[in-house]
Amino acid sequence: MFDTKVALVVRDDLMTWQKLNVVAFLATGVAAGAPDALGDPYVDAAGTRYGRMLIQPMMIYAADVDALRKVHRKALERELAIVPYVAAMFRTGHDADNRRAFREENIDAMDFVGLAVRGPKNAVDKTVKGLSLHA
C-alpha cells in the first residue's frame, strides 16, 4: 500500500460551502508540497489529456477547534508536513492576505477551520487518533 498518509481535518461547525472550500484548499496544499505523490495525467479513449491527482487517498476527519489545535501540536512534534487554514482566511480576497491573516494568529490559540497533515503512516495515525471520519 502506501508508507505515507494524508489526513485532512475540518472543523465540524462550518457551513457546507466552507467545509468544501477548506477541503479544496488543503488538498491543493498537500499536492503542492508533495509533487512526488502526484500520478500521471489521465487520458481518455479519445486521447484527451486531463490533470494529475494524488496517487493516494486523503482521509477526511471532523473536529472542533480544540481538537484541531491538538492535531496541530502533535503534527509539529512529529515534524509532519502541515497545511493550515484559519477562520480569518474566509474574510480575505487573495493569497497574500491569507498569509498575512495566518501570520497574525496567536500561536497558542489559532482559530483553525482545517488542517492537512502528510507524513509516515504511523505518525499521521497517531496524530489524528480519536477523531472520527467526516460524515
- Type of residue at 28: T
CA distances from 63 to 35, 120, 125 (A): 28, 21, 15
Q: Beta 4-11 vs 58-63: how paired, if at all?
A: parallel
11: enclosing H helix or E strand? strand 4-11
Q: If you average pLDDT over every residue of the chain, what do you get?
A: 97
pLDDT tens digit string along 60-112?
999 999 999 999 999 999 999 999 999 999 999 899 999 999 999 999 999 99
Q: Is a pLDDT exceeding 90 seen at residue 135?
A: no
Domains and CATH numbers, the chain: 4-133 (3.40.1490.10)
pLDDT tens digit string along 75-87?
999 999 999 999 9
Contacts of residue 82, Cβ cutoff 8 Å, sequence gap at least 6: 72, 75, 76, 115, 116, 117
State percent of the chain over pLDDT 90: 97
pTM: 0.93
Question: pLDDT-based confidence at 1, cuts 50/70/90?
Answer: confident
Phi, psi of 114 (to 5 degrees): -170, 155
DSSP letter assigned to residue 14 = S
Whether the Cβ atoms of residue 52 and residue 61 lie closer than 8 Å to each other = no
Alpha carbon distance 49, 16 (integer Å): 31
